[in-house]
Structure 1
């Protein structure tokens, strides 16, 4: 490892050099230095999320070229937090879990975290909403995040929410991963979980190294080499070595090899890509090519596109932890102090609150894991990263067809397909308006039949926060022709069930002359 030792009298994280060999089993930091790094981690997230907010998913499958300005000015953070509070899902999702650790203790059962998240007022999408629906309808974690129950299992959701785990486990990447494991499986599985595990490990290592290359590579040791997530990030590291001065060349290599979406129904056969591994690749792209420079890191991780607020938020948080709050350039902190007492929407916590809570939790985790606190000095028992268990979602499943249905279900609807699985997109909604932010207690009751066998009876709520993200899906069916029939049991004059796109999976990809 590349540990550092900070004097207990240091007022902020000082520049430091990594120890090259014979690294000690522990490192001593001052409480002041740890607090500065925790503040840097949370502040970096806010900066990155604010900076990338206007570009989020506006550039899918393309980079944001340098001629296009991205605004930044004094007062921008406060204005965004006040006017567009929903942008900060990266933060208020994190704070849901921080709040449970504070109220229920570090040993809070996963049910506490799951219930808090499922019943929160905020709107959710993708793996988060699919997981929430599962919980609200009687399923428990980790089944709620498993890919057979959640078509978004590989999506980015836990990756953008895992910051808390690394910030409360300084220098202890395995502990960071362990803290995040049950929470990450509320809504994700496989690569979706690995994204959060990897980000948490990078935060943890950023406390004890000032070498971004080391942080990126060492944290990857927590991920099984057999996984597609590991292989994707290892490729980014390899391409950075090959093209050290050309981030755009590496971006093109990422697109060439890793841009095909398999799981998320909104991304299959579309340029939109919320998959954890490719967005994590953009985080790593920013960190490696930024080389510890905050501005370069922000620019590159944002201009890579796709989830371009979450990716610079993660990159900014990791780099902010490494540098410490005191060493984030003043340009990026302009207007930050006036926003640090604003409670994030859906919470009763501000940045200043979470700075203190994360410090409190970090000291508790240090003592629980072989470390010691002696006055102002904190001795951390360092950990060598170890790979977690192998999980892979959608194995043997290849999307081969997307067909628009775009009809209302008038009592009953049937369709045929040939393959091993399907996803039927759509929604239950009010008849005369959008379902966005719609509130109602009404839910359709619907049944799914496959080959004349009743497979499932499901509720289809019209309320947006309770909705089922997709209407129906099934994987791992016998290969061949199948007939699907959907029956709506309680028609309602004020609401409809609208079908969208049908996605079909087979056990082999469609043959192509380009392969």
Structure 2
């Protein structure tokens, strides 16, 4: 979503802002934030400064906090071998009024209440925090790439893994959802704390053979990443008051400070999904709703499509042209949702999306709209209603 925004003139930080990005609270920056902490040994605030610049390219609010927190965990893992301390100290980089802070604080409290039962803590997370508001794929669905929930799974792995590398990976993986990224983050943080030599040999099998191979679509290998990361870490240490004297490195260790408070989807709550249909000529979608916002789900691209064709469209709200979204069919430049608008006056609205240049070779697909209002509802009941509507259409 952020890539599309940037390619179409919406630069950071607005590229990650929830008004322009339904995925603002998703896990995108959290799964990439390792470098910020690895470049900032013992310096969580320096990691946060990096995250402010990079994380807001793609996320906002809790989505950004996920990367801030992971970066802080890495930074602190250089300076302490106490998992509980690192988990709790890292949370000081997050504003207390945020849901991200509250979710991770809950995990810490549940770990103390159920010290030998990670599954119970996992269940408590599901019951309290698993309803997604923003990510269209996750609204009223079991799918969840919300940053705070997946960060909770990282923390569950770290706390219940008890510094056993394999156990930490297993628990974070079994928590589910983004079950490749979460154990990778947990393992990376624990590996930083333990040191490379103490990581079990089993988990390093094949690494030496791969270190000289360039990553796909790049001219960078792992060996290049190692060298670049070390270079940047040394520069960052000096920039933050440390010193380098040959092999002697002095780091000015930092006490974590909370970053600024921000919240995505303020006052916006999904209330239902409604099916949508194309006109007879398949060049227009129109639907009515009662609420404060909508997301029209759909896609103009196919997997690995390389065509340069772009659908030109017009989006009308209550009869007024409000946007002219471009819908590339190329997979790498696609728009992840067809269109959306939040923060509308509560009431009845009409949405109309027109395709100005239909194609015989390409197709715009759409199947449902998510409707938002200003009050939270029971997601399970809404999902049952949505499923019933789909069954009727069948």
TM-score (norm 1): 0.72
CA contact (8 A) 2:2 2:21 kept: yes
Please tell me whether residue 364 in structure 1 is matched to residue 231 in structure 2.
no
1:418 aligned residue (286, 290, 299): 290
Equivalent pairs counted in the alignment come to 380
1:503 aligned residue (370, 379, 384): 370
Instruction: State the 4+ residue runs in structure 1 displaced beyond 6 angstroms.
Output: 511-514
- 1:513 is displaced (CA, Å) by 11
Alignment-derived partner of residue 257 in structure 1: 128
**Which stretch shifts more, 395-404 or 140-149?**
395-404
CA RMSD of aligned residues (A): 1.4
Return the alpha-carbon distance in structure 2 between the equivalents of residues 264 and 510 of structure 1: 17
- 1:441 is displaced (CA, Å) by 1.0
Alignment-derived partner of residue 348 in structure 1: 219
Alignment-derived partner of residue 210 in structure 1: 81
- 1:352 is displaced (CA, Å) by 1.9
Structure 1's 240 and 491: CA in aligned 2 closer, same or farther, altered over 3 A?
A: same
Alignment-derived partner of residue 300 in structure 2: 428
2:343 aligned residue (445, 456, 476): 476
Return the alpha-carbon distance in structure 2 between the equivalents of residues 510 and 318 of structure 1: 37
Return the alpha-carbon distance in structure 2 between the equivalents of residues 231 and 366 of structure 1: 31
Return the alpha-carbon distance in structure 2 between the equivalents of residues 513 and 452 of structure 1: 33
CA contact (8 A) 2:214 2:221 kept: yes
CA contact (8 A) 1:195 1:277 kept: yes
- 1:172 is displaced (CA, Å) by 0.4
- 1:334 is displaced (CA, Å) by 2.1
CA contact (8 A) 2:140 2:379 kept: no
Aligned residue for 2:36, secondary structure, equals helix
Alignment-derived partner of residue 391 in structure 2: none
- 1:511 is displaced (CA, Å) by 6.2
1:81-160 paired onto structure 2 within 5 Å: 130-160=1-31
Tell me, which stretches of 5 or more residues in structure 2 are unaligned? 382-394
1:302 aligned residue (149, 160, 173): 173
1:68-467 paired onto structure 2 within 5 Å: 130-405=1-276, 407=278, 410-429=282-301, 435-467=302-334
Structure with the greater relative contact order (CA < 8 A, sep ≥ 6): 1 or 2? Answer: 1
- 1:135 is displaced (CA, Å) by 0.6
Structure 1's 512 and 428: CA in aligned 2 closer, same or farther, altered over 3 A?
A: closer
Return the alpha-carbon distance in structure 2 between the equivalents of residues 513 and 400 of structure 1: 11
Return the alpha-carbon distance in structure 1 between the equivalents of residues 378 and 254 of structure 2: 46
- 1:411 is displaced (CA, Å) by 2.4
Return the alpha-carbon distance in structure 2 between the equivalents of residues 346 and 285 of structure 1: 34
- 1:406 is displaced (CA, Å) by 5.5
CA contact (8 A) 1:398 1:509 kept: yes
CA contact (8 A) 1:406 1:498 kept: no
